[in-house]
Chain A
């Protein structure tokens, strides 16, 4: 992280919260609990300023406030001056401000772009990628099972999600390490280090421009060719649009699900009773996955206020940023019994890890499938496992929260 005012300690979380504070990133739940009771929609001037709701009922209302809470700028921090310059130049050239539709679009533009990508991720479409995902997981485990130790995040979760989304988009899964570097450059380090954002955003777009140009000449049966052939608002998609949509799918498809898989494995490595239970009752897996999504929800989304909004005493003004704190809402005791416990067989679980409303995660069926296959394959192949070194665990936070290093040990096989 760069030097910034966020270096000084937080004095009052209700008026000065810091989403990049290392303790908050490691475990934000105590802060949400305090805020929910004392000041449920908190505010900060840090990182460009924002509002942070923490109650389930407030999130339910806020996702419906469209376009008063607009998706025009869905990151948790504002664009840097360098980025604004680039974006303004692009607007001038392409006459376009929704750059990665549908996630940056409000109605009525949102729907046609969302409809183009939805069929790629329907339950039936996703089922077809199970064999690829399972083989991939098995291959990764083959690589470390003989050693009796592995990094469940870096050697496993991080290796799965970029290859699966590459496989779906029709780009080379062997370049997974590059994709991971680019996506972290934009969405992880790029949030606090503007040069990284600019550099890796450019790399992603240059890469997809090549892919699109190739497919305009020779169409293939992949998702990029599908985008080229698609229409929205009565017109074929421009390259600018297609690049935006491809970057969105690459970015949204990688560290989100990787975070969810590594949080889950960290949970089982540190909660032997839950690990034993899932081993004894493998049929719990689908319910367990929903519960792990609730408890370790990785994704927070931004909104920009376009007309004054008042909610429970918080007066949000035009231009303000609002953080849709889905992870915090998922811990609200008003909405969940024993909200601060992982209950693998939780019967009633209306979690909002994938958001709510019109922007509900387009990739949610894929994410669930990847989590289920990754966990099932791990449990099938690896015996009892535990965290090898608790101090070595590292976390990323901000837009997407999850562990990045999870060293575990198990009996070598």
Chain B
């Protein structure tokens, strides 16, 4: 599974990082990036979906399902 954060939509709510710190990092301005070029390590798919379902800006998406 591969995910991405759309930098034009992300407003730094930080819900993704709070829910899945293994999958995202946020900078000083709050903006998020998917770690590991978005590749979700096996076993963390559910965490990735949780982050997607809680991003109020609809900024996270799945680019590749397994």
The residue from B11, B13, B29, B53 contacting A348, defined by CB atoms under 8 A apart: B53
Closest partner residue, chain A, to B9 (CB atom): A357
Size of chain B's interface in residues, with CB distance under 8 A? Answer: 20
Q: How far is the CA of A364 from the CA of B29 in the complex (A)?
A: 12
Q: A364-B13, A364-B14 are in contact. Are A356 and B56 (CB under 8 A)?
A: yes
Partner-binding segment picked from A37-45, A117-125, A298-306, A390-398: A117-125
**Is B17 touching A348 in the complex (CB atoms < 8 A)?**
no
A357's partner among B11, B29, B53 (CB-CB below 8 A) is B11
Whether the pair A118, B13 counts as a contact (CB closer than 8 A) is no
Q: Are B11 and A350 in contact (CB under 8 A)?
A: no
Which A residues fall within an 8 A CB radius of B?
A: 115, 118-119, 121-125, 286, 290, 347-352, 354, 356-358, 360, 364-365, 368
Q: Enumerate B11-66 residues with CB–CB distance to A below 8 Å.
A: 11-15, 17-19, 26-30, 50, 53-58
Hey, which chain B residues are within 8 Å of A122, CB to CB? 26-30
Q: Is the CB of B26 within 8 A of A360?
A: no
From known contacts A118-B30, A122-B29, A358-B11, infer whether A286 and B18 are also in contact, taking CB-CB under 8 Å. yes
CB distance from B61 to the nearest CB of A (A): 14
Q: Is the CB of B28 within 8 A of A350?
A: no
Please name 10 pairs of A and B residues whose Cβ atoms are closer than 8 Å in the assembled complex, sorted by A: A118-B29, A119-B29, A122-B28, A123-B17, A286-B19, A350-B56, A354-B56, A357-B57, A364-B13, A368-B18
Using CB atoms and an 8 Å cutoff, list the residues of chain B in contact with chain A.
11-15, 17-19, 26-30, 50, 53-58
Given known contacts A347-B50, A356-B57, what 9 new A-B pairs fall within 8 Å (CB)? A124-B28, A125-B28, A347-B53, A350-B53, A352-B56, A354-B13, A354-B56, A356-B11, A356-B56
For residue A357, which residues in chain B have a CB less than 8 angstroms away from its CB?
A: 11, 57
Residue of A nearest to B10 (CB): A360
CB-CB under 8 A from B53, the residues of chain A are 347-350
- Max count, chain A CB within 10 A of own CB: residue among B27, B28, B53: B28
Min CB gap B53→A, angstroms: 4
A170 CA to B50 CA, complexed, in Å: 37
Note all chain A residues with C-beta closer than 8 A to B27. Answer: 122
Residues of B within 8 A of A365 (CB): 14, 30
Query: What distance in Å separates the Cβ of A71 from its nearest Cβ neighbour in chain B?
Result: 15
